[in-house]
Structure 1
Amino acid sequence: MKKTLLFGSIMVLLMACGGVKKTQEALNTGNYTQAMHKAIKNLSENKTKKGNQPYILLLEEAFDKYSQRELEHIAFLKKEGNPANYEFVYKGYNQLKQMQERIRPLLPLRVMEENRNASFKFRNYDSEILAAREQLSQYLYDNANTLLANGKYKSDFRQAYDDFNYLLEINPGYGDAREKMEEAWQLGQDFVKVNVLNDTEQVIPQRLEEELLNFNTYGLNDLWTQYHAAPRKDIRYDYEMQVAFRDISISPEQISEKQIIKEKQIKDGYKYLEDDNGNLVKDSLGNEIKVDKFKTVRCNFYQFTQHKAAMVTGMVSYIDLNTKQQVNTYPLSSEFVFQHIYANYQGDRRALENDLIALLDLRAVPFPSNEQMVYDAGEDLKNRLKDILVRHKFN
């Protein structure tokens, strides 16, 4: 009774404190985990602060109610006898232990007005955790093994893989689970053979084709799909990916010329300042005043632009080899533009701005070959192909 009165008086005094109020609301609505998290956070910062006293009582009550509720729920799940509950039992015991480990470093927590330490009924759950883990491990193994032995679809083998993987996370080295998981992975994969088709009248550079088909460079990180540019006879392929080049257009080599006339006033020595009567003007010391003399210079600037462009278009198609049906298509295109600018001039180059003067140091360069143009267009093509590979999902 005394404890209740003290708790009530403290709460009335500090109800205006938003943190305490929210923690109390969480406790009152049965959200014990949230209430404990809020209380632990504040007490971790300063457990002896007078303003944090309410959090000690809130944590004490929330932990007691949380432990009671979780243990009752675990007891019910055990009594129900459903193997599907093994995971909930295992996780329940672990969460109880973890919450105790979060509170333990804060102890002792002194309740000043009651002249006592807060009471937390800790239990050692290690035996329960180990027993629950063993039950769950056996259940996961049996379930995954059944899927592996009787599975008809790739989704069955992928589920078996997930179960074996989870089993090894909670119980590393369990029996032959790792070997079984590897087997499930092999059976759950989609194997895709890749075929490049050239329907154009241009030669596709060998280097570009090799780089397009080097799937290791794409960083796909897809657990369930393997692309093979060189199909293997010992693998039954599920899909074929066709990369078909439909058209390769290469523009003629062009050089365009543009003439720009530039004029500018520049300094051209100096002259003596004269008044309106033609007399020399002197300063206060009697010296004749000098002023800058300007003249206009002119320059004919000739800018030359070398230009050549390549456009590669195609289509990526996925074909289901079991049904012989096309399942999806994606357009594929890329353009590369070669452009080089140089210039020369006639006249006085002092009339030119700095950016134009820089072009005077450049000369014409050889145009890239058609093969090089196609290869350069392929650099962007690889990025577009990667986007398609990432976007396309089989199942």
Structure 2
Amino acid sequence: MRKITLLISFLVLISSCGVKQTQNLLSSGNYDQAIDNAVSNLQTNKDKKGKQDYIYLLEEAFAKAKERDLNAINLLAKDANPAQLEKMYNTYLQLNSRQEKIKPLLPLSLIKEGRNAIFAFDNYNDQIIDSKNALSAYLYANAKKLLATSDKMNYRKAYDDLDYLNQINPNYKDVLRLMDDARFKGSDYVSVYTKNETNMIIPVRLENDLLDFSTLGLNDKWTVYHSNKQKGISYDYGMVINFRQIYISPEQIKEREFVKERIIKDGVKKLIDANGKEMLDEKGKVVMVDNLKTVTARIYEFRQFKSCQITAKIDYINFKSNQLLQSFPLSSEFIFENIYATYKGDRRASDDNYYSYFDRKPVAFPNSEQMVYDTGEDLKAKIKDIISRNKFRN
């Protein structure tokens, strides 16, 4: 019984906290948050006495929110500033959305007053359509005005306006064509190419791979990278991958010889006491123990090794001013290594994780071109990281 009483007290406390929070939101002018709180609490057991406070609060919050929105619309209408059309359109949407949020709960009964809560709903369909059409016309005209300038930032603003226009009013006039135009004019085009300042020939497939930016996914909303210049495009920036130095080590085979010794289990044997007699357990059986044995092996280890280091730098160039914007040093290394071994003696003397070396064989060293190409894989990842963290235009 005591547990039930405590549970009821706890639920009452939670309910009163929710009501208090909704009252505070209402008092502070956060009408829509107060409405959301009340609606959430009335979605279950709305006819319970404990929910009456929420109905009163919902009724009051709705009336005040509606009054505030309509006053704001009247002020915007008198101001007649086309830049405020979006605010007017969104306010009408808000008025309608607020009503739709409450409708599923109706009727809401106020028990003490013997009446249903009053919500003065209106049909805003015409106002929504009219304000949307006015906003669409304004956005369209403003975007065309921005596109008539020679400023990339204006083209980007035009694109954003047209994108929003297409969301609220799909396929309005030739908005899709204008969006393509704004995207093309507003984008920064970057020409990417390599320079070889080393005394070695860079493998063609490495150059092609490094310049294949389609695999890097670096193009963003307003930056497009081209490794081959395209007609009709005025490039804003250049990105030069300068190969400064390529060092390839000689092919090396290092040998070492060492002896391993280990105590291992080699079957079982009878346990003998100090007098040389067999020891028996409580059942009279001979006690058997592990037969430990010391084994040795002479191991001959061979290590094939070859490395390639590439030193480069990435230059960002502004083609409009012909100035160097930034430089980023870059280095990468690829190591070819193959370890194999033979032995004389008992292989069990070696560590368990060393066994795999006995199964390996010598392999052919990769040629220099392959080494440079393999180094380029790491180089490509580092180039992507540099570009991702350092944009041409902030």
Q: 1:108 corresponds to which residue?
A: 107
Quickly say closer, same or farther: Cα 1:291–1:115, change in 2 above 3 A: same
Q: Give the distance between the partners of 1:290 and 1:87, measured in 2 at CA.
A: 92
Quickly say closer, same or farther: Cα 1:159–1:285, change in 2 above 3 A: closer
Name the Cα RMSD after superposition.
2.2
Shift of 1:131: 0.7
**Are the counterparts in 1 of residues 219 and 225 from structure 2 also a CA contact under 8 Å?**
no
Q: Give the distance between the partners of 2:352 and 2:211, measured in 1 at CA.
A: 46
Q: 2:235 corresponds to which residue?
A: 237
Is 1:200 aligned to 2:198, yes or no?
yes
Within a 5 Å distance, the mapping from 1:276-315 to structure 2 comes to 276-281=274-279, 291-315=289-313
Percent of pairs identical after alignment? 49
Shift of 1:204: 1.7
Q: Give the distance between the partners of 2:43 and 2:134, measured in 1 at CA.
A: 36
- Structure 1: any 5+ residue segments left out of the alignment? 1-12
Q: Give the distance between the partners of 1:282 and 1:162, measured in 2 at CA.
A: 92
Quickly say closer, same or farther: Cα 1:292–1:19, change in 2 above 3 A: closer
**Are the counterparts in 1 of residues 26 and 61 from structure 2 also a CA contact under 8 Å?**
yes
Deviations 1:134-178 (A, max 9, x none): 1111111111111112x1211111111222221111111211222
Shift of 1:88: 0.6
Is 1:134 aligned to 2:136, yes or no?
no
Q: Which amino acid aligns with 1:78?
A: A
Shift of 1:41: 1.6
Moved more, 215-224 or 267-276: 267-276
Q: Give the distance between the partners of 1:289 and 1:181, measured in 2 at CA.
A: 90
Quickly say closer, same or farther: Cα 1:283–1:76, change in 2 above 3 A: closer
Shift of 1:26: 0.5
Moved more, 357-366 or 48-57: 48-57
**Are the counterparts in 2 of residues 15 and 21 from structure 1 also a CA contact under 8 Å?**
no
Is 1:69 aligned to 2:49, yes or no?
no
Q: Secondary structure at the match of 2:112?
A: helix
Q: Give the distance between the partners of 1:132 and 1:211, measured in 2 at CA.
A: 53
Q: Give the distance between the partners of 1:269 and 1:92, measured in 2 at CA.
A: 88
Q: 1:18 corresponds to which residue?
A: 17
**Are the counterparts in 2 of residues 265 and 294 from structure 1 also a CA contact under 8 Å?**
yes
Q: Give the distance between the partners of 1:271 and 1:25, measured in 2 at CA.
A: 86
Quickly say closer, same or farther: Cα 1:287–1:123, change in 2 above 3 A: closer
Moved more, 328-337 or 256-265: 256-265
Moved more, 89-98 or 176-185: 176-185
Shift of 1:284: 5.8
Within a 5 Å distance, the mapping from 1:48-197 to structure 2 comes to 48-149=47-148, 151-197=149-195
Q: 1:351 corresponds to which residue?
A: 349
Q: Which amino acid aligns with 1:328?
A: Q
**Are the counterparts in 2 of residues 246 and 314 from structure 1 also a CA contact under 8 Å?**
yes
**Are the counterparts in 1 of residues 193 and 211 from structure 2 also a CA contact under 8 Å?**
no
**Are the counterparts in 2 of residues 40 and 59 from structure 1 also a CA contact under 8 Å?**
yes
Within a 5 Å distance, the mapping from 1:306-325 to structure 2 comes to 306-325=304-323
Quickly say closer, same or farther: Cα 1:243–1:288, change in 2 above 3 A: closer
Quickly say closer, same or farther: Cα 1:276–1:148, change in 2 above 3 A: closer
Shift of 1:64: 0.7
